[in-house]
Structure 1
Amino acid sequence: MNIAIFVIFAIRLPSFDGILYDFTVSDPACNLMIPIYNQNIISPLKQNIFKIRIFDSNDHETFEYDAENKQILQVRVEGGPFERAQIQARSIINPTTQTGRFVPPIPDYFKLVNCSGHYGSAIINDGIVSRRHSSLRWQPPNIPSGAIIFLASIIHSKQLYHIRSSFLSPISNSTRLTKQGCGTSYGCFKIGRHQCLFGETCRFSLKWRCYKKSMIVEATHYGHVASFGLTESEKRAVLCISTNNTSSMDDYYISGDRGFPNIFNRPHSKRLKTINDGMRTFCRFEMERPRRNTSILLFGKVNSYGHPYKLRKWRIPGSNMCNPSLISSGVIRLPSTVHISSSSSNVHILNLSANIIFHILLIILLHFNHL
């Protein structure tokens, strides 16, 4: 009798090796994604050895989801074996709640769990994964939730790694942007003639949302050839390049009025989608959150080599572009004359001013000579 009582009591004790209480069906740690009885060392993001990627039914990496048709996506954690994991998707507009759900069939060593009152809104593995796991099947929410990300807590060798996927947006082949959410959920900005339509007939339209240290940006150019984008810092920018029938995106070093040389090392940004329909160019990309919470819109021409040049500058208004309510009315029109231009124009203005001052001094000297 005493032995039986001891066995039951021993089973209820927390595990000293940390495995039993890392993630469980009864306590999956939905919110913070850190086990209550955590005995693991939380590793810095820069030391992460894992990554999470999303694939479509054709096994192609994707950055979009189809809520209307409920297209199943494949979720994979890559980087090596691990002991425990908890994975879920969240909308960046409502980042505290899980969205979508994982659906069967699932690998034998994974289990669906209940978060936010929805079964399958998160998934855990109930056993050591000694090899790369097969894909996990995830179904989007019934209604598009804006941009979403997949979050995962991975435990390996007593180290807890927090990782996330790239942003995924509702599927669309349109080059237009809508004003929906501008000034509330999104920061928005436009350049164009008076009464131009945001995201349609304005020369440039931008819409963005910040998430922790990152930002997702959607930008449209109405026209044929142009370069346009945002600065990440004083020396770095992300630019979209639109030509007559093509579009591209890259990171650039800021190097004056001769254009921006390409960055050949690992880029900080992530191209999510580019479309050119002959009338408009649409770019969606992920970039680092500006260090001072403000950025400069860069726009200019493209030379015959597809390189940006003759760039002009316009600072995004407001002290914090990551707070949409601080961007005046969400949408702002640029006057027809841009006062902040490229450095070559500034040099021309300085030379003109110097010539005027020189002629004034010459007239004064001639006047004194006649006295």
Structure 2
Amino acid sequence: MTGAHSGLRLLAEPDGRESRDRLEILTALINGPGFDPLLRADVIKVPTEHPVFGWGCRVSRCQRSAHGTSDLCDTHRQQRVSRGGDEAERAEFLRTAEPLPLTTAAFTGPCRVSGCERLALGHRYRLCARHDNRWRKASAREHDTELDLDEWLATEVPYPSFGVCSAASCRDGAGSPLGLCPNHDQRYERAGRPGGAELPGGWFHSHERDPSSIAVRYRDEKVFRQWCREADPLLRIGEINLLGLHPLLRAEIKWGLFAHQRQNPRTRWLPVDVQNLVNNCRAMDSLTGFDLDNCSRRARGLTKEMLQSLRVVYVTPSQTREAGYLEFGSLRGRIPRFQQPL
């Protein structure tokens, strides 16, 4: 058996005790003084120009993310390809290309009514659903005069929040007593409403003012909760969202990102590629259980490098000798390569 295959065998999925030991080791390393503080967060917000995980298009003031292995967004990449040319032409393209805005907004923010804890709808008034309904009714009553929005806002009372979204990967506010933010509510609908969670008919008009009085009905609540645990987060530019992951898996990915930054800083990893990998292994307890044979080429490359970095942490020198290879890239070593065959 080759050294590489032996290393993968030594990184088989851990049992309960081994999982706890591995998490303890990684936690100590992540909390150590040499670890990059940026990568400790469960929602990593990567600066646009980060040297390893930077995601911004190279065209000045372009708000879109770079595409694939390019340092240009997809639109600017296609424009550049159509022109061809050498490095001098590329420099001219970067100087003259028009910057592009983001095409969608990730969230709308809070309701404009002072003190209201509910999310605003995605339109120009920036009101929550209840206040939007009240504003429309108030405006309709003013037949001949135009109601002043600012004056009306000053007379409105705030309403309590529906809480945080029940999707484990989400930190946005829920849009209704069902417990899902607007984005995950749409995804739940597209998924066929697993578990059959629903609100009582007419809840908005009869009980919406007091969310605690509304009882959600389920066909199978366990199925609904499982969907909430496994739902992917809303993709946000420049973010790596690790919320809802098993603690060991979350620590492994953080360590893998740090190891890549330290060992291979010239190869850029876009946050969107890392997020796609995270979403693909969301139901796992450890990265060691990832199916390398049934994933994209990009996910396979990221995972292999992460597993390589974990091997240095998890596997002892005696274990590598038994498997037929030596580990030189220990945490205290100076040799940059992780593994050398015997």
- Alignment TM-score, normalising by the size of structure 2: 0.25
Higher helix share: 2
Query: Which has the higher relative contact order, 1 or 2, with Cα contacts under 8 A spaced 6 or more apart?
Result: 2
- Alignment TM-score, normalising by the size of structure 1: 0.23
Higher strand share: 1
